[in-house]
Amino acid sequence: MSGRLDGRCAIVTGAGRGLGAAIAKVFAREGASVLVTNRSAKRGEQTARDIVKAGGDASFLEVDVTDSEAVKAMAAEAAKRYGRIDILAHNAGIFPSAMLDKMTEDQWNEVIDTNLTSAYRSVKACLPQMKKQRYGRIVITSSITGPRVGYPGWTHYGASKAGLNGFMRSAALEFAKLGITINGVEPGNILIRPLTSAAGRHHDEAMRPAIPMGHLGEPEDIAYAALYLASDEAKYVTGQTIIVDGGQTLPEADSIIL
């Protein structure tokens, strides 16, 4: 541990597993006190226990990011427990698949609400405390899908992630003189639990040839990008995203992947 986040309080949403759990654990290893939030109490509590067992400081709060009152309570509870809200890592999101011609409006709304509108809720809830401190680091988990590329079955997901990028750029302008930065990480294909299923393994094998590095990333690859943006090393960076995709979005055509 190098202490890059010593003395900081961080909220991490969607921290029950995968990218969110990795972000919470890396932040804690770097000295942050972490409020682990998740819709599933069982998974979120496990992340908090893992952090404490490893010598870090963490506690858990059950939060559904589609519930405005729950998100407001999340920010209030973080300020109560830790006295500050220095970092918000908004990672909560879902990625169900549905082809557009068969997608229902309810399916569309669920993804937009969970992935995009929840960022508005979470950021707005944390703003009063950050403005009072005149300090804040907001890091949003976006994706290459939507902002950079498309994938069949993910029109709702792609729209939500492209929306996040637009949201953070405009928000960055509003917060710039308040000591608050807002940035994002755009993951490519990452090895997370849902991809260990049969369908996930098929997806893994299908995507591998499109990645110049020849393999999927790990959750910690995203966590360390988030760590940089959450640290004071990124104090002059705002409204930006970091693509972490093994080079997937670089080639002009598949035929030039060596």
User: Which residues lie across from 106 on neighbouring strands?
Assistant: none
Q: What is the DSSP letter of 35?
A: E
Closest CA to 141 of 47, 74, 248, 230: 230
Does the annotation mark 157 as catalytic? yes
Taking the C-alpha atoms of residue 64 and residue 70, their distance in angstroms, rounded to an integer, is 6
Contact 173, 229 (CB under 8 A): no
56 CB contacts (<8 Å, ≥6 apart)? 25, 28, 29, 34
Taking the C-alpha atoms of residue 160 and residue 163, their distance in angstroms, rounded to an integer, is 5
Out of 157, 224, 228, 236, pick the active-site residue: 157
**Displacement of CA 35 from its chain's centroid (Å):** 14
Which positions are catalytic?
Answer: 157
